Homo-oligomer: A and B are copies of this chain.
């Protein structure tokens, strides 16, 4: 049995933004069609002052691939103390017909890229067609990923960016302007940034409301990325009262996404959630219905996104003879 090994650099070469946007769309549609089995993910509680590691498992009955992603992050002392990055990942792909291990790839890049693509998929499906201006609350790695992916599917005229650390905002401005040629205005307040937005992207891993409801103008599409577990929060729960709420996974978002907060405060009921993005992509639920609607996309992240993304990378590797085959056994 041969297993394909793919290094981080090979993954980087094999991944295209367009492919990943397609893979994430496929993931959402598959999930909302019941073609996916995705058990709750497993985490390990490590001693404090270290980071986190979690394991996400997904089976997609159409491509017949089982994926297992281990992803760690937040190990700030890794570069200095252990000579490795603060965030790493590994993805195993199994052929679900035999459970043979067909691929082991470095998964460090995939979480960031498929999460960026998630925002772009929601913009395609839910933002106003004449949207031009983005507000970015948070300017870290994932904020860049969002812009890179959204830039693939629309023309971004300018970005108003805010970060709790102004220096990080300045670095983001320099990077995005150099890389993508999109003008970035570093905002002096969140309000200033949010008020300009056609599309608002939040990527802060914040733990309290950062965006007040009355700053958000009618017609805004909100991409809420930062909240994927209890304790995290980015949006004023009042924002949900009159918005069209679209989630990646109904079960995850109501349990630990941004959507949990307004539910918990009885600002909305579960019935007020418009649907899953997969349903919108499949056409079984409408997307945006007017230019005045505020749409909120709550993204908690799903194993099936890793599955379809990694499967595409694996296919690209096979097609282009990239990678190293290793035989764990002879039979």
Residues of A within 8 A of B (CB): 1, 5, 7-9, 37, 39, 42-47, 50-51, 53, 55, 57, 59, 61, 66, 68, 70, 72, 75, 78, 81-85, 88, 90, 92, 94-101, 104, 106, 108, 324, 326-331
A1-B84, A82-B100, A98-B84 as given contacts; A328 in contact with B44, CB under 8 Å: no
Q: Decide: A51 near B99, CB < 8 A? Known: A7-B328, A92-B90.
A: yes
Which residues on B sit within 8 Å (CB–CB) of A57? 42, 44, 55
CB-based contact B327/A326 at 8 Å: no
Contact B42 A42 (CB under 8 A): yes
Contacts of A39 in B (CB 8 A): 42-44
- In the complex the two chains form, is A90's CB within 8 Å of B101's CB? yes
A94 to B78, CA, bound (A): 14
**Closest residue of B by beta carbon distance from A108:** B329
Instruction: Report yes or no: B68 in contact with A88, Cβ–Cβ below 8 A.
Output: no
CA distance A262 to B328 in the complex (A): 42
Q: Is the CB of A94 within 8 A of B53?
A: yes
Given contacts A9-B330, A82-B98, 19 further A-B contacts (CB under 8 A): A1-B84, A5-B328, A8-B328, A8-B329, A8-B330, A42-B57, A44-B96, A50-B96, A53-B66, A55-B68, A78-B98, A88-B99, A88-B100, A90-B92, A90-B101, A104-B104, A106-B328, A108-B329, A326-B326
How distant is the Cα of A204 from the Cα of B254 in the complex, in angstroms? 43
Chain B residue numbers with a CB within 8 Å of A100 are 78, 82, 84, 88
